[in-house]
Structure 1
Amino acid sequence: MNTRAKILVVIAVLAVAGGGFWWSGRHKGEGPLVLQGNVEVRQVNLGFKVAGRIAQLDVDEGDKVEAGKKLASLDKVYFTDALGQLRAQREQFAANLAKMVAGNRPEEISQAEANVADREASLANMQLTVERAQKLLKNAAGTQKAYDDATQAVKQAQAQLDSARAAEKLMKAGFRQEDIDLARAQLADRDAAIAIAERQLADADLFAPANGVILSRVRELGAIVNAGETVFVVSLTTPVWVRSYVSEPDLGRIKPGQEVELRTDTPSIKPLKGRIGFISTTAEFTPKTVETRELRTALVYRLRIVADDPEGVLRQGMPMTIAVAEPAPQGSSQ
């Protein structure tokens, strides 16, 4: 082996040894762990829960909104009319139930009792007529037909008295329990329908679910929209999440709650603070957004960082450099 070949072999050995030293030192936890990531794109499509015509738009593209702010409203005349109709029906069912629970009025019961007394008097009169017809028939002063007519009249009066007494009993007993239960169920049905109508009326207003910025206004004033149809696209700004990936050898150097420093590529933006909020329990291949040719088959773990952005300088999709502070050794004094 000539001198040139020996020199090349020595260089190769030193390169391998140096690479091994760098690789082993890389995993000893010396110095901060630096990761790359992006501000997560978090947006939501907002639409009404009910169909209708857009009557009011309170925000436009680029406007900042806070959670609970009203963004738009539908024409509410149909909702209010339907609600008024249901409330009127509810009053009708409530009155009917109250009547059944209270039973019949004392005046109605007195009328039934008077009708019974009238029928009893009629029956007594018919019985006297039968007795007179019977005496006349025995004395040959009356006819058989007159006696038979008087007898039938007694039977008819007796039937009418029985009917009057039954009506009096029903009047005093009041309504059947089954009828009362039916009236109560009808009232409950109207109450449920009113609750649905009230929710539909409330859903005619569209509110922001969280703090954010209006990215786009999809529909215009006066448009007819279906339930769930997108009206606004809102970019959520609170909290700000940064997504990054950590390789398996560095997984032991991070933990949830650990503080990090976030830097952007914009020099005017000062470093921001953040903390690790989530570390995936499942490994995955390096995403194409961060992989190199050498790392296409490397496994990484996804993590989410919650950024402190009090001035609102971060934008969705912005590249971020993340410096993870090394945790203090256990038992060391602060």
Structure 2
Amino acid sequence: MNKKVAVLAVIAVSACAALAWYLTRPADNGKDLVLYGNVDLRQVSLAFNGSERIAKLNVEEGQHVNAGDVLGELDTKTLTLRLAQSRAQAAAQEQVLARLKAGSRPEELAQAKARTTQMQADADLARQQLERVQSVSRESNGRAVSQQDIDNAQGKLKAALAQLDAARKSQELVHNGPRREDIAQAQAQLDAARADIAVLEHQLSEAQLKAPVNAVVRARLMEPGDMAAPQRPVYTLAIANPKWVRTYVKETDLGRIKPGMAASIRIDSQQEPIAGKIGYISSVAEFTPKTVQTEDLRTALVYEVRVLADDKADRLRMGMPATVRIVQ
């Protein structure tokens, strides 16, 4: 007896709810434009930009992700080692450039000056020996000294003067320091090493797969251990906003709508309508017939219309059938 009463109570409540909906439903004045279509949204396929083993994947199908969330990571051991090598090479090149810019050390300048002094002393000694030999030759009318001795003394003086000149030029080079061209070359090599570091750091950052926008994961296409590649998507994301209903309007009704007009969207699983507005009206007819048309055939043409949905409660799903009502 109690079960029968409960069943009757449920039936009565359902009847009251149906009557209330019937009495409060929007009036159909016969002028509203009713269109039928399906929910649509944009999708994005995400792939790693490098080719390496996948180390980790962090999300599953159906999860909501925000822009910047890390969805997956590649194995970065090889990149990390290469980056450490490049940084060491850049550090060594920095020292080379610093040495060139600093110029000669005081000890090097002192060493060059001492060598010049030594060569000057050798040249003075060679000159004195030549003068002594020539003096003896004059006093003895060439009998005490042979011509060969004079030639040897002259040769020693020339050699000493040549060495003195070389020492002076070497001292000048040490004093002036490295050439500008050598410094520029070292700077260019350092810039190249730093650029290589930047490339490796960029590749290391791209070892993380990040969500570009707020979205919902539609498909997870790879797993940890798979070899990633730029041509192989790992995830397919459905962009949560905007959403729209893709529908079509006949040519005879095309003049009744315009972008920005308010609309209501209903789906089979929800009685409460979702607010929307017309966002796009195609300027090209679908399935365009031949050039020569009859009047009846022209009126059969349809145009794509996108009705943007204000779906804050996230009730719409891709492909879901929907009814659009545009109040005239």
TM-score by length of 1: 0.80
Query: Greater CA deviation, 311-320 or 40-49?
Result: 40-49
1:127 and 2:127 are equivalent in the alignment: yes
Match of 2:316 in 1: 314
1:297/1:102 CA distance change after superposition, 3 Å: farther
- Give the C-alpha shift of residue 295 in structure 1: 7.2
Structure 2 counterpart SS, 1:224: coil
- Give the C-alpha shift of residue 163 in structure 1: 0.9
Structure 1 residue aligned with 2:276, among 270, 274, 277? 274
1:212/1:198 CA distance change after superposition, 3 Å: same
Structure 2 residue aligned with 1:246, among 245, 249, 254? 249
Structure 2 counterpart SS, 1:191: helix
- Give the C-alpha shift of residue 123 in structure 1: 0.6
Match of 1:116 in 2: 116
Whether contact under 8 Å (1:285, 1:298) holds in the other structure is no
- Give the C-alpha shift of residue 269 in structure 1: 4.6
Match of 2:167 in 1: 164
Match of 2:20 in 1: none
Match of 1:290 in 2: none
1:148 and 2:151 are equivalent in the alignment: yes
Structure 1 residue aligned with 2:326, among 316, 324, 327? 324
1:167-192 per-residue CA deviation (whole Å, 9 max, x = no partner) reads 12222222222222222211221222
1:222 and 2:225 are equivalent in the alignment: yes
1:186/1:131 CA distance change after superposition, 3 Å: same
Whether contact under 8 Å (1:62, 1:213) holds in the other structure is yes
Query: Greater CA deviation, 107-116 or 190-199?
Result: 107-116
- Give the C-alpha shift of residue 74 in structure 1: 0.8
Structure 1 residue aligned with 2:215, among 212, 216, 225? 212
Match of 1:331 in 2: none
Structure 2 counterpart SS, 1:40: strand
Match of 1:36 in 2: 36
1-structure distance, mates of 2:70, 2:124: 81
Whether contact under 8 Å (2:100, 2:183) holds in the other structure is yes
Match of 2:23 in 1: none
1:86-115 per-residue CA deviation (whole Å, 9 max, x = no partner) reads 111111222222222232223222222222
Structure 1 counterpart SS, 2:241: coil
Query: Percent identical across equivalent pairs?
Result: 44
Match of 2:185 in 1: 182
1-structure distance, mates of 2:258, 2:137: 120
- Give the C-alpha shift of residue 254 in structure 1: 2.7
1:236 and 2:215 are equivalent in the alignment: no
1:92/1:162 CA distance change after superposition, 3 Å: same
Whether contact under 8 Å (1:285, 1:296) holds in the other structure is no
Structure 2 counterpart SS, 1:233: strand
1-structure distance, mates of 2:271, 2:72: 35
Whether contact under 8 Å (2:41, 2:242) holds in the other structure is no
Alignment of 1:32-111 (within 5 A): 32-111=32-111
- Amino acid in structure 2 at the alignment position of 1:150: A
- Give the C-alpha shift of residue 296 in structure 1: 9.5
1:66/1:147 CA distance change after superposition, 3 Å: same
Whether contact under 8 Å (2:94, 2:190) holds in the other structure is yes
- Give the C-alpha shift of residue 215 in structure 1: 2.4
1-structure distance, mates of 2:271, 2:221: 32
Unaligned regions of 5+ residues in structure 1, if any? 1-28, 287-293, 327-334
- Give the C-alpha shift of residue 120 in structure 1: 1.1
- Give the C-alpha shift of residue 299 in structure 1: 3.1
Structure 1 counterpart SS, 2:268: coil
1:272-304 per-residue CA deviation (whole Å, 9 max, x = no partner) reads 011222233333337xxxxxxx87983333232
1-structure distance, mates of 2:110, 2:251: 93
Whether contact under 8 Å (1:269, 1:313) holds in the other structure is no
2-structure distance, mates of 1:306, 1:46: 25
Whether contact under 8 Å (2:250, 2:299) holds in the other structure is no
1:95/1:298 CA distance change after superposition, 3 Å: farther
Equivalenced residue count is 291
1-structure distance, mates of 2:298, 2:251: 14
1:320/1:177 CA distance change after superposition, 3 Å: same
- Amino acid in structure 1 at the alignment position of 2:213: A
2-structure distance, mates of 1:255, 1:316: 25
- Give the C-alpha shift of residue 41 in structure 1: 4.8
